Structure 1
């Protein structure tokens, strides 16, 4: 189980759902089928535990005032305009 917002190198998978941990965001992509059987129950428990930990991290009093980790470097786009090589 990942520790939400603790580092930039943890990830986990529940079914085909991938959860990537970063210090300023959690990225979740993929899909999951929660079937009505033991496997579905186990996956639902993992999902519940993960979302509870994420919500608990948001309840930390100073999480919103700590914007030091948020920067353009952590974003998917650099903010630099480049010439389109196909034009």
Structure 2
């Protein structure tokens, strides 16, 4: 299980759902089929535990304040101009 917002290198997988940890965000992508059987129950428990840990991290760290540690290198736009290679 990851420690939410603790580092930039942890990840985990529940079914085909991938959860990536970063210091300023949690990235979740993929899908999961929670079947009504033992495997579905185990996966639902993992999702529940992860959700509780994420909510607790928000409560503990007061992440609603200005966060200067955002992962700019992982953003789609780096706030800098580049030359158009097609001109």
TM-score bracket, normalised by the shorter chain, equals 0.7 to 0.9
Relative distance call for 1:61 and 1:4 in structure 2 (3 A) is closer
1:12-70 C-alpha deviation (Å, 9 max, x unpaired) = 00000000000000000000000000000000000000001001111125332351212
Deviation at 1:74, TM superposition (A): 4.3
If the length of structure 1 is used for normalisation, what is the TM-score? 0.86
Structure 2, unpaired ranges of 5+: none
2:78 matched to which residue of 1? 78
If the length of structure 2 is used for normalisation, what is the TM-score? 0.86
Question: Number of residues paired by the alignment?
Answer: 87
2:53 matched to which residue of 1? 53
Supply the RMSD in Å over aligned alpha carbons.
1.8
Separation of aligned partners in 1, 2:2 and 2:66: 21
Tell me which stretches of 4 or more aligned residues in structure 1 moved more than 4 Å. none
Partner SS for 2:60: coil
Deviation at 1:84, TM superposition (A): 3.3
Query: Is this contact kept in 1: 2:24–2:71, CA < 8 A?
Result: no
1:40 matched to which residue of 2? 40
